Structure 1
Amino acid sequence: MADERRGSGRGQRDLKVRVKSARGRRISSVRWLERQLNDPYVQRAKREGFRGRAAYKIQEIDDKARFLVPGARVVDLGAAPGGWAQVAVKRVNALGEKKGKAVGRVLGIDLQEIEALAGAEFHVLDFLDEGAEARIKDWLDGPADVVMSDMAAASSGHKRTDHLRIIALCEAAAALARDILVPGGTFVAKVLAGGAEGELLQQLKRDYASVKHVKPPASRSDSSEKFVLATGFRGRKDAAEDIQEDAPGRTSAP
């Protein structure tokens, strides 16, 4: 009994894993490593076979928004290491495990190669390259129902600069989504504190029925990251205008 009391009386703080500083290791690196070792989501990801704690972010976002449905065709931008794709594969029924349910597709895009994942198709591609949207639709055999992005530019250590960089990435991802989404589609992407701003937010509100910022529980409370969630894509109005301008009896140039 004495041993049991001594064991149960230890506080959670006493059980925290601490990392000793080592020559050549910065204090910031030590803190990051300690945070990783003590993060319950990191530990849970290892137990449940996910490629990273980020998997729980898209899982928690989708638990409320419900856009990763059986049969959905998903494009995951900046997909490495593949945690978001793992969640998508299961939820859109990419492996056909849910009998009687539509079978979806998961297409991951990244600048680096990604370890193969059953039910997902990964390609090395810079989505900013000219013609990337056509290649993606070709790989997907058509438009997408969901475009999602957990991309973040390399940190400079300067908050304003980092914010501008990630907003630029989000703007580029939103532009791609506008080219490849079906009407009614969903766009979700990471932003930093302050959320999606200026022209990006205005464009999203024009293009989607609903636009909001979300911070899932798996996103660390001390992190400045949030996600912009845009649902109900209205379709490209300018594409319809182009068709009208090129119709018989009309000229596209003065």
Structure 2
Amino acid sequence: MTKPKTNNPRSTPDHYSERARKQGYFARSVYKLEEINQKFSLIKPGGRYLDMGAAPGSWSQYLVRSLKQRLQLVSVDIQEMRYQGPADIHTVILGDMYDRTVQERLAELGPYNALLSDAAPNTMGNRLVDTSASAAMAEHLIFLADQLVLPGGNLLIKIFLGGEEQELLKQVRQKYRTAKQFKPKGCRKESFETYLVGVEKLA
């Protein structure tokens, strides 16, 4: 059966998706985290890390691989994780980051040396609606980091470009020694996503 043609560039394999397949990662987004971490040094062996919006699990895979299992990791998503690390170092929570019960469980398992998130809201195809939803999610993640990340810890969250990223960057700047907006090479050319990075949370 012939597959229908698609104009969606995300459905076409590229260098990063082929590389992810060959290296056994569940998604090409792993190389965004790799590049950001190489630039900002967000993770170190022996830390406790929180991966929000983690499914299918490539960021969690990267954390476990790159730190050679010398970490404690909590991964959260409303969708099933395809990746499951060793049970003694990796806890998976199937649930909504907005759910109070999930937040209480995260507090029990924390605090964390970094909160990392590649989460994005379900998009509607309306740029204004989508960017507003992304900004609201990013603001919630900044709030969670306030509660869960240790002083000296780090923050990484995805946001859609659309006017609110500078206000959110200002919030991060008030809470972290260094705050940057950074778009890694792994983002597709047509993508309007970027990342907010906070390094060394202030006490």
TM-score normalised by L of structure 1: 0.73
Partner of 2:24: 49
Letter of the 2:64 partner, please give it: V
CA distance in 1, matches of 2:148, 2:13: 40
Partner of 1:72: 47
State how 1:1-254 maps to structure 2 within 5 Å. Answer: 22=4, 30-32=6-8, 35-94=10-69, 103-119=70-86, 120-138=90-108, 140=109, 142-194=110-162, 196-198=165-167, 200-235=168-203
Other structure's SS at 2:156 match: strand
**Contact 2:58/2:83 (<8 A) preserved:** no
Q: CA deviation at 1:114?
A: 1.3
Q: CA deviation at 1:63?
A: 1.0
CA distance in 1, matches of 2:126, 2:138: 18
Moved more, 126-135 or 72-81: 126-135
CA distance in 1, matches of 2:77, 2:30: 16
Higher Cα radius of gyration: 1
**Contact 1:137/1:144 (<8 A) preserved:** no
Aligned length in residues: 198
The CA RMSD over aligned residues, in Å, is 1.8
Other structure's SS at 1:114 match: coil
CA distance in 1, matches of 2:84, 2:36: 22
Specify whether residues 202 and 169 from structure 1 end up closer, same or farther in structure 2 by C-alpha distance, changes over 3 A only.
same
**Contact 2:56/2:81 (<8 A) preserved:** yes
CA distance in 2, matches of 1:21, 1:81: 25
Moved more, 182-191 or 36-45: 36-45
CA distance in 1, matches of 2:65, 2:45: 9
Other structure's SS at 1:183 match: strand
Answer 1 or 2: which has greater strand percent.
2
Q: CA deviation at 1:35?
A: 4.9
Task: In structure 1, list runs of 5 or more residues that go unmatched.
Answer: 1-19, 95-102, 236-254
CA distance in 2, matches of 1:169, 1:78: 11
Structure 1 residue ranges (4+ consecutive) displaced by more than 4 angstroms after TM superposition:
none
Q: Summarize deviations over 1:108-137 as a string: whole Å, max 9, x none.
A: 001122134224321112121225333113
Task: In structure 2, list runs of 5 or more residues that go unmatched.
Answer: none
**Contact 1:36/1:42 (<8 A) preserved:** no
Other structure's SS at 1:219 match: coil
- Aligned residues with identical type, % of pairs: 29
Question: Highest relative contact order (Cα 8 Å, sep 6+), 1 or 2?
Answer: 2
CA distance in 1, matches of 2:181, 2:171: 15
Specify whether residues 72 and 92 from structure 1 end up closer, same or farther in structure 2 by C-alpha distance, changes over 3 A only.
farther
Specify whether residues 134 and 35 from structure 1 end up closer, same or farther in structure 2 by C-alpha distance, changes over 3 A only.
closer
CA distance in 2, matches of 1:231, 1:216: 17
Specify whether residues 160 and 133 from structure 1 end up closer, same or farther in structure 2 by C-alpha distance, changes over 3 A only.
same
Other structure's SS at 1:174 match: helix
Q: CA deviation at 1:69?
A: 1.1
**Contact 2:56/2:83 (<8 A) preserved:** no
